[in-house]
Structure 1
Amino acid sequence: MFVDPRTPSHAVPSKFSAFLTLLSVVFAVPSKDPAPEVKESINPPRGWTLRSAAPSHHTIELRIGLPQPDFPVLEKHLYEVSDPFHERYGQHLTKAEVEALVAPHQESIDAVSEWLATHGIGESDIQRSPARDWVTIKVPITLAEKMLDTTYHVWTHDASGDSIVRTTSYSLPKHLHPHIDVIQPTTMFARFKGYKSTIHDIDRSPSLPAFTGDSTNSGAVIDPSCNTTITISCLRQLYSVPSDFTPSAHVGNSVGITGYLEQFANRQDLQSFYADQKPQAVGSTFNFVSVKGGLNDQNASNAGVEANLDVQFAFGLSFPVNSTFFSTAGRPPFIPDIGTPTDTNEPYTDWLDFILAQEKPPLAISTSYGDDEQSPKASPDGLVQDLPSLVHCEFKIPSDGGVGDGDDNPATQTCLTNDGKNQTKFIPGFPASCPFVTAVGGTEFIEPEIGVFFSGGGFSNFFARPSYQDKAVGKFLSALPKGTFEGLFNPNGRAIPDVAAQGERFRVFVGGQVVSVAGTSASSPAFTGIVALLNDVRLRAGQPPLGFLNPLLYTIPEGFNDITIGNNPGCGTEGFNATTGWDAVTGLGTPNFSKLRDLVIRK
Structure 2
Amino acid sequence: MRSLAVYLVALAFGSAVRAAPKDCAHKVKESVVPPRGWTKAASAPANHTIELRIGLPQPNFAELEHHLYEVSDPFHERYGAHLSKEEVESLIAPHPQSIQLVDEWLVSYGLVQEDLSRSPAQDWVKVKVPVSLAEKMLDTEYHVWTHEASGESLVRTTSYSLPEHLHEHIDLVQPTTLFSTFKRMRSTARFSRTTPAAPSPSAPPIKVPTASGGEVDASCNETITITCLKQLYNAVGFTPSSKNGNKIAATGYLGQFANFADFELFNEDQVPEAVNATFDVISINGGENDQDPDEAGDEADLDVQFAFGLTFPTPATFFTTGGSPPFIPDVLTPTDSNEPYTEWLDFILDDPNPPQTISTSYADDEQTVPVSFAQRVCNGFAQLGARGVSLTFSSGDGGVGDGDSDPATQECFSNDGRNVTRFIPLFPPSCPFVTAVGGTTHIPETAVFFSGGGFSNVFPRPAYQDIAVPEFLARLAPGKFEGLFNPNGRAIPDVSAQADLFKVFIGGEAFLIGGTSAASPTFAGIVSLLNGARISKGLSPLGFLNPLIYALGAIEPSAFNDITVGNNPGCGTEGFNATKGWDAITGFGTPNFGKLKEIVTTGFLTLDLDSTGISVSL
The TM-score with structure 1 as length reference comes to: 0.93
Deviations 1:508-560 (A, max 9, x none): 00000000101000000010000010001111111000000000011112200
Aligned to 2:157: 167
Return the match for 2:51 from 36, 39, 61: 61
CA contact (8 A) 2:240 2:532 kept: yes
For residues 274-313 of structure 1, what are the structure 2 equivalents within 5 Å? 274-313=267-306
Aligned to 2:416: 419
Partner Cα distance (2:332, 2:191) in 1: 36
Partner Cα distance (1:28, 1:428) in 2: 48
- The structural deviation recorded for 1:345 is 5.4
Q: Specify whether residues 516 and 205 from structure 1 end up closer, same or farther in structure 2 by C-alpha distance, changes over 3 A only.
A: closer
- The structural deviation recorded for 1:294 is 0.4
Partner Cα distance (2:484, 2:209) in 1: 33
Partner Cα distance (1:26, 1:354) in 2: 30
Partner Cα distance (1:428, 1:148) in 2: 31
Partner Cα distance (2:44, 2:409) in 1: 31
What secondary structure, in the 3-state scheme, does the structure 1 residue paired with 2:191 have?
A: strand
Partner Cα distance (2:544, 2:599) in 1: 16
Aligned to 1:224: 218
Deviations 1:249-280 (A, max 9, x none): 01110000000000000000000000000000
Partner Cα distance (2:409, 2:327) in 1: 25
Partner Cα distance (1:27, 1:331) in 2: 34
Match for 1:202: what amino acid? R
Find out whether 1:71 has 2:61 as its counterpart: yes
CA contact (8 A) 1:442 1:523 kept: yes
Partner Cα distance (2:549, 2:113) in 1: 45
What secondary structure, in the 3-state scheme, does the structure 1 residue paired with 2:341 have?
A: helix
Find out whether 1:428 has 2:421 as its counterpart: no
- The structural deviation recorded for 1:408 is 5.2
User: Unaligned 5+ residue runs, structure 2?
Assistant: 1-10, 605-618
Percent of aligned pairs sharing the same letter:
60
Aligned to 1:268: 261
- The structural deviation recorded for 1:28 is 9.7
Aligned to 1:390: 384
Q: Specify whether residues 164 and 31 from structure 1 end up closer, same or farther in structure 2 by C-alpha distance, changes over 3 A only.
A: closer
- The structural deviation recorded for 1:331 is 2.3
Match for 2:117: what amino acid? Q
Aligned to 1:10: none
Partner Cα distance (2:511, 2:347) in 1: 32
Return the match for 1:376 from 369, 381, 385: 369
Match for 1:74: what amino acid? L
Aligned to 1:197: 187
For residues 217-366 of structure 1, what are the structure 2 equivalents within 5 Å? 218-219=210-211, 220-242=214-236, 244-344=237-337, 346-366=339-359
- The structural deviation recorded for 1:208 is 5.5
Partner Cα distance (2:316, 2:521) in 1: 12
CA contact (8 A) 1:556 1:599 kept: no
CA contact (8 A) 1:440 1:501 kept: yes
CA contact (8 A) 1:217 1:449 kept: no
Q: Specify whether residues 136 and 213 from structure 1 end up closer, same or farther in structure 2 by C-alpha distance, changes over 3 A only.
A: same
CA contact (8 A) 2:408 2:573 kept: no
Find out whether 1:454 has 2:454 as its counterpart: no
User: Unaligned 5+ residue runs, structure 1?
Assistant: 1-20
- The structural deviation recorded for 1:474 is 1.4
Partner Cα distance (1:165, 1:188) in 2: 10
Q: Which moved more, 1:544-553 or 1:336-345?
A: 336-345
Give the alignment's Cα RMSD to 1 decimal: 1.8
CA contact (8 A) 1:408 1:454 kept: no
Partner Cα distance (2:102, 2:461) in 1: 34
- The structural deviation recorded for 1:566 is 0.4
Match for 2:204: what amino acid? T
CA contact (8 A) 1:372 1:406 kept: no
Partner Cα distance (2:463, 2:588) in 1: 16
Find out whether 1:121 has 2:115 as its counterpart: no
Partner Cα distance (1:364, 1:413) in 2: 34
CA contact (8 A) 1:253 1:363 kept: yes
Q: Specify whether residues 425 and 162 from structure 1 end up closer, same or farther in structure 2 by C-alpha distance, changes over 3 A only.
A: same
Partner Cα distance (1:415, 1:38) in 2: 29
Aligned to 2:516: 520
CA contact (8 A) 2:20 2:107 kept: no
CA contact (8 A) 2:496 2:523 kept: yes
- The structural deviation recorded for 1:344 is 2.6
What secondary structure, in the 3-state scheme, does the structure 1 residue paired with 2:302 have?
A: helix
What secondary structure, in the 3-state scheme, does the structure 2 residue paired with 1:226 have?
A: helix
Moved over 6 A (4+): 24-28
Partner Cα distance (2:587, 2:436) in 1: 9
What secondary structure, in the 3-state scheme, does the structure 1 residue paired with 2:458 have?
A: strand
CA contact (8 A) 1:65 1:183 kept: yes
What secondary structure, in the 3-state scheme, does the structure 1 residue paired with 2:80 have?
A: coil
- The structural deviation recorded for 1:343 is 1.2
- The structural deviation recorded for 1:206 is 5.4
Match for 1:291: what amino acid? I
Partner Cα distance (2:333, 2:288) in 1: 18
What secondary structure, in the 3-state scheme, does the structure 1 residue paired with 2:335 have?
A: coil
Partner Cα distance (2:404, 2:75) in 1: 40
Find out whether 1:477 has 2:473 as its counterpart: yes
Match for 1:200: what amino acid? F
Find out whether 1:212 has 2:204 as its counterpart: yes
CA contact (8 A) 1:200 1:516 kept: yes
Match for 1:164: what amino acid? L
Aligned to 1:177: 167
Q: Which moved more, 1:536-545 or 1:377-386?
A: 377-386
Partner Cα distance (2:33, 2:508) in 1: 47
CA contact (8 A) 2:54 2:126 kept: yes
Match for 1:213: what amino acid? P
What secondary structure, in the 3-state scheme, does the structure 2 residue paired with 1:136 have?
A: strand
- The structural deviation recorded for 1:583 is 0.3
Deviations 1:412-431 (A, max 9, x none): 42211111111211110110
Aligned to 1:88: 78
- The structural deviation recorded for 1:399 is 0.8
Partner Cα distance (2:16, 2:540) in 1: 51
Q: Specify whether residues 582 and 501 from structure 1 end up closer, same or farther in structure 2 by C-alpha distance, changes over 3 A only.
A: same
What secondary structure, in the 3-state scheme, does the structure 1 residue paired with 2:372 have?
A: coil
- The structural deviation recorded for 1:30 is 6.2
What secondary structure, in the 3-state scheme, does the structure 2 residue paired with 1:61 have?
A: strand
CA contact (8 A) 1:54 1:141 kept: yes
Match for 2:169: what amino acid? H
CA contact (8 A) 1:230 1:507 kept: yes
CA contact (8 A) 2:326 2:336 kept: no
Partner Cα distance (2:448, 2:341) in 1: 27
Aligned to 2:143: 153
- State the aligned residue count: 580
CA contact (8 A) 2:30 2:160 kept: yes
CA contact (8 A) 1:229 1:506 kept: yes
CA contact (8 A) 2:196 2:222 kept: no
